[in-house]
A and B are shown apart, each in its own frame.
Chain A
Amino acid sequence: MSQHFPAFIIVIPLIAAFFIFTAGWLKRTYCFYIAAVALAISLFSSFGLLLQVLQNKVVVYHFGGWSPPWGIAYRVDYLNGIVLVVSAAIAFLNLIATKKSVEKEFIERVGPFYALYVLFVTGTMGIVVTGDAFNLYVLLEIASLTGYALIGMGTEHAALASLNYVFMGTIGASFYLLGIGYLYIATGSLNMFDIASILPNIFQSNVVLFAFVICLTGLFIKMALFPMHTWLPNAYTYSPSPAISLIAPLTTKVMVYVMIRILLSVFTPSFSFKSMAVNTSFVWLAVIAIVVGSILALSQQSLKRMLSYVMIAEIGYMVGGFWLANRAGITGAILHIINDAAMTLCVFLVAGNILYRVPGDSFDNLKGLFRKMPFSMGAFVVGALSIIGVPPTCGFFSKWYLITGGIAAGHYGFVAALLFSSLVNVVLFFRIFEIGYFEPFGDLHISGSMDEEEKTFDDAPLGMLVPLMIVAAGLIALGIYTDTLVTKVIQFAIPGGIS
């Protein structure tokens, strides 16, 4: 059975999505359990797959029994093995953590909600595991379509924000498809590794050059790198909290993974880094993204909006780290995909918990939250310290690799931008700590006595807190085991030619 793990990861959630939708008509409470079982199987299979990868280096699965250039094949190696486990874990934990708030927000739409949720996970995991460039596009569209729908059901201006996301997302995905078309016209193949074996003969062709540029443009739009980030803040601010703590950790990080996969496995490093000679300009683009994202985050007045600008800056870390084109930088970028996904999950889960108890997430509403919700805010502190980059949380280590890479590449602008962004994050998060810790909750004039305040302990329900605690502990564990992660997995994910 274990040879079918690559199929199980995708197919079990897919079939479960159909079951969930049917169950939504019969009995609403079943939906959650079916989703949980499906995602648990998916998580288990991806773990098993990672173990297989550690043993055999590469696991290949042929769909329909056809071998690669003709059929579709999945090819799992160190790079997608680890990303796969992290995304499966995030999807599962978030499902458990948001059970209560889904019941609160979508009481009548539980069936469609969980069906879309599981389909989104299917799409995202499929993107990570696939070895076929066109298959990636189809899965990308599944993930995007379900994402648009989940975001569109949010509060205030969610529908408009989601429609803007549809436009930008479609342009991005179509550009990716066009880039694949250019590659197809030049090579005649769609399998990533088959393309990679043909490309070295025709590197001088300007068709390949255009394919490179178009693909990258599409992916940059999808991952919201700075000039193309306009869809992200509104979409993430207005979206419903159980959906956003799934979408925010996965969408943009998985797109960074796709960029790394396309550039390392399809175009190969010798083309991406050497013949193109665009590394420095992309790093500078990332520097601008980091600086602008951080500055814009400073001027926000509500928690989710601030976090979404922080994420724009984080995208800059990963893109910049990758384009440093040396071993430390790419290690940092891959490590940061994992860490950033976990950190984002942590802080957005806290935002969800806060919104479960408090009417809004603007900074005025956060007063006295440390007394009211000590456990949630405790997890928030861990997440925030990790985003700032304080040891022993995981954020410190990926930043360390990125800075080492920046120094090794002699790119001091990137190093400076990283340090600047860390400083800004300190300001951002300590401002929230201050509001939450020192400012009293609500109006003191009306209910001022100490007894009243003692009673205001009102944290989120246990079902939401326990997964959050696991995520927060995971941030520290990821930090402690960084060394194992790098030596056992990530260093093999980088092709040998890069020093």
Chain B
Amino acid sequence: MKWFGFIAVFLCGSLFIYGTVEFPGWGDPLSPTSTHVSPYYIEKTMEDTSVPNIVTAVLADYRGYDTMFETAVIFSAGIACLFLLRQMKRKKTDFRLYRHTATGITFRIEKGGKLPPTAKEFERIDGLWTPYDLIIKTTGRFIIPFIQIFALYVIAHGHHSPGGGFQGGVILGASFVLFAISHDLRSALNRMSEKLTAFFYTLGVYIYAGTGALCILLGANFLDYSALATILFVDPVTARSHGILIVEIGVGIAVMAVMVILYYNLVSAGKFDEGL
């Protein structure tokens, strides 16, 4: 099987390499790709939308419809993961593990047992893996705010520099994931519960699709942000720029929440009790 696979792949690859013979050279400024559609974007973006980052402008305006479905893909991945893995009935484990914070001694409490009254000195820990590292926790606490600030900057500054809703959203989601890794899944769930996450990712796609629908209500085509000029009290070009910012924020929120929910589901295999 191995050799068969190798030979098949090798033949297929040689065929593909034969296919590159008539490709225009790499980086050729005269190739059809560089001369047919793309010059319009490069030369007109500033006039049409006043957004210097051409990629953002094309992503959220010229081909904004694709990006709406990109958000929908992420949304359906979130729901799909929830649908496949989430176990609705909570099955309680037979025992719980607690650690005495001062000494680091671990207690195992059998089913039906109760904590001693001085419960504040104990913290619950995972059954499978019991990390206790002050350095990781502190570092996590220290850098997470900076990561989040950076993520918000990336979302907001997507007009002028690389970045935008999607990248910022992923970084924002990663900060929550980092929190869940450096502490544990329960404390992450306390701060960002499942329902809150679900609320956020529907909110994100509502913002995107809602902006598009608003444009229809204002008498233009779907996602034609220039129609927003009448309610934002700006000229149509600036309205496009603002429209792009609004949908980027929507994308950011949706992506952040989906990354978090995907992580929660995968790491706890749908049980939402303990994780990495």
Contacts and interface: CB of A to CB of B under 8 A. Distances in A.
A63 B83 contact: no
A108 B80 CA distance: 14
A310 B209 CA distance: 40
Contacts of B105: none
Interface stretch (B56-64, B94-102, B120-128, B129-137): B56-64
Contacts of A139: 69
Interface string A1-19: 0001001000100110110
A145 B83 contact: no
Contact of A65 (B68, B70, B72, B226): B226
Interface in B20-43: 21-24, 31-38, 40-41
B144 interface: no
A11 to B, nearest CB: 6
Contacts of A182: 19
Interface string A170-190: 000000000000101111111
Contact of B33 (A132, A141, A184): A184
Interface stretch (B149-157, B169-177, B183-191, B216-224): B216-224
Contacts of B41: 70
Interface string B229-267: 000000000000000000000000000000000000000
Contacts of A198: 32, 36
A116 B79 contact: yes
Interface string A183-217: 01111111000100010000001110010000000
B88 interface: yes
A142 B76 contact: yes
B222 A63 contact: yes
B269 interface: no
A375 interface: no
A172 to B, nearest CB: 15
Contact of B83 (A15, A17, A112, A138): A112
Given A15-B213, A63-B65, A138-B66, A146 B221 contact: no
Of B33, B80, B86, B226, which is in contact with the most chain A CB atoms at under 10 Å from its CB? B80
Nearest to A184: B33
A169 interface: no
A115 B79 CA distance: 8
B63 A71 contact: yes
A22 interface: yes
Interface residues of A, number: 57
Contacts of B68: 14
Contacts, number: 154
A188 B35 contact: yes
A18 B75 contact: yes
A188 B222 contact: no
A142 B72 contact: yes
Contact of A135 (B16, B65, B84, B220): B65
A122 interface: yes
Interface stretch (A38-46, A147-155, A340-348): A147-155
A244 B16 CA distance: 36
A112 B35 contact: no
B181 interface: no
Interface residues of B, number: 56
B22 A153 contact: no
A61 interface: yes
A138 B88 contact: no
A210 B15 CA distance: 9
B9 interface: no
Contact of A70 (B21, B40, B226): B40
Interface string A112-125: 11011001001000
A22 B202 contact: yes
Given A65-B221, A138-B69, A142-B72, A18 B63 contact: no
Contact of B38 (A141, A188, A207): A188
Contact of B73 (A11, A17, A62, A142): A142
B225 A116 contact: no
A383 interface: no
A64 interface: yes
A152 B225 CA distance: 39
A15 B75 CA distance: 12
A134 to B, nearest CB: 7
B218 to A, nearest CB: 12
Contacts of A17: 72, 75
B241 to A, nearest CB: 14
Interface string A47-72: 00000000000000111111001111
A207 B209 CA distance: 38
Interface string A413-451: 000000000000000000000000000000000000000
B83 A25 contact: no
A206 B79 contact: no
Given A109-B86, A138-B69, A186-B32, 20 more contacts: A7-B221, A11-B209, A11-B222, A17-B75, A64-B61, A64-B225, A72-B66, A115-B76, A134-B66, A135-B66, A135-B69, A138-B70, A138-B73, A145-B76, A148-B80, A149-B81, A185-B32, A188-B35, A189-B36, A206-B19
